[in-house]
Amino acid sequence: MGSEVDDKQQYMFLLSGEDVKFAEAEILAVTGVSDYIIDETVLISTCSLHKKRLALTRKMYKFLFSCNRADIEKSMQTFDWRSVYKNNFSLRVHRATKEVEGLDKDAKELAVNIWNNVNNPAVDLQHPKTPVEIVITDKNAYFGLLIYKGKESFSTRRSHQRPHNQPTSMNPKIARACVNLSGIRVGDTLVDPFCGAGGIMLEAGLMRFSTRGYDIDKDILVKCERNLDHYKVKRFKLIHLDALKITEQADYVVTDLPYGQSSIVTGKRDKLYLDFLKSLERILKNKAVIIFPDSVDHKKLISKTKLSIEKEFSVYVHSSLTRKIVLLKKK
């Protein structure tokens, strides 16, 4: 990611409330950390920060300090705000979850504690040089300097917005989170053995990873190429080949398995999935994220291979489909 990676220091992440465990796992996979603190939707760790990569993180901060909710004003009065203050500031207060009740004092009242402790205080709510934010959990308050707010336009890349629509394509935000969950690193190549119209390759390519996609359908590969070109994705390779016949080694694999009434595998799904998993054993170098429909017993299939489940998550799509996102590694 080049310039998107900062030096290691203590950062605070405000996670999406959609699936906190999935958001947590995405951060750990990207940063590689194992030592961290999590409180509701707040995660704090000393790590390298990968801006613009995380899909399930709402905001990122330089962590300042934390305290008990009852001690917010006292802690603000004792903190050396001059050590972080530059020209002007803003103060915003957020609840970590909808269930967390508000404070007795609002941001304007609390901002006085910064105003009284810096030289030449000035407030700028539009373009602050010192954007201070407080995230409130049930018992604690966490203070940080806002350094990144997720502005990724995932909605502009939903299937119906692309040159070629594929109705079963994953939500771009979830596709990106799956790529990140694999733990892929700069210089590695991501492989999608059932690439379809390229939703997963698109997210990986926009993060500047090299990608390789396979599909048995020539027509869908043409559509995939047009989709990738439309979003100016570089360093990709498309191959017309049955996923079960792939022999080239894969650094990381992320794929959404084919399913549905229109799929060519209807009636033979479980056999295809098992054959693919056994093929995956042979070609996988590191880890794979495989997305199963909830209508299949994926644990039973995986138990018949030399792969093991490291983590798994459920993502509700609609009343007849929940996706099972499974992180696999070799035993």
Domains annotated on the chain, with CATH = 2-149 (3.30.2130.30), 154-330 (3.40.50.150)
Structure tokens at 78: 């004792």
CA–CA separation, 149 and 140 (whole Å): 22
| Interatomic CA distance for residues 98 and 212, integer angstroms | 41
Determine the pLDDT at residue 51.
76
Tell if the pTM clears 0.85, that is, is over it.
yes
Burial 278-303 (b: 16+ CB within 10 A, else e): ebbeeebeebbbbbbbeeeebeebbe
List, for residues 204-252, the tens digit of each pLDDT value. Answer: 999 999 999 999 999 999 999 999 999 999 999 999 999 999 999 999 9
Residue 214: which of 193, 187, 188 has the closest Cα?
193
At residue 286, what are phi and psi to the nearest 5 degrees? -120, -95
Q: Are 298 and 277 in contact (CB under 8 A)?
A: no
CA dihedral 81, 84, 90, 95 (to 10 degrees): -80
Residues 284 and 243 sit within 8 Å (Cβ to Cβ): no
Largest CA distance in the chain: 72
What pLDDT is stored for residue 267 in this prediction? 58
C-alpha distances in angstroms, 5 versus 22, 177, 265?
22, 18, 42
Judge whether 167 and 176 are in contact, CB under 8 Å.
no
Please give the Cα distance from 3 to 164 (Å, whole number). 32
State residue 52's pLDDT score: 83
Please give the DSSP secondary-structure letter assigned to residue 268.
-
Measured distance CA(130)–CA(319) in Å, rounded: 45
Name beta bridge partners: 288. 253, 328
Residue with tokens 């039973």: 300
The pair phi, psi for residue 282, each rounded to 5°, is -75, -35
Give the CA dihedral 153, 159, 164, 166, nearest 10 degrees: 160
- What lies within 8 Å, CB to CB, of 83 at 6+ separation is none
Q: Are strands 284-293 and 321-330 parallel, antiparallel or unpaired?
A: antiparallel
Task: Compute the distance between CA of residue 172 and CA of residue 166 in angstroms, rounded to an integer.
Answer: 12
CB 150 within 8 A of CB 58: yes
Distances (CA, A) of 261 to 122, 170, 273, 293: 62, 17, 16, 13
Residues of the chain with pLDDT under 50: 1-3, 261, 264
The owner of tokens 């602050």 is 128
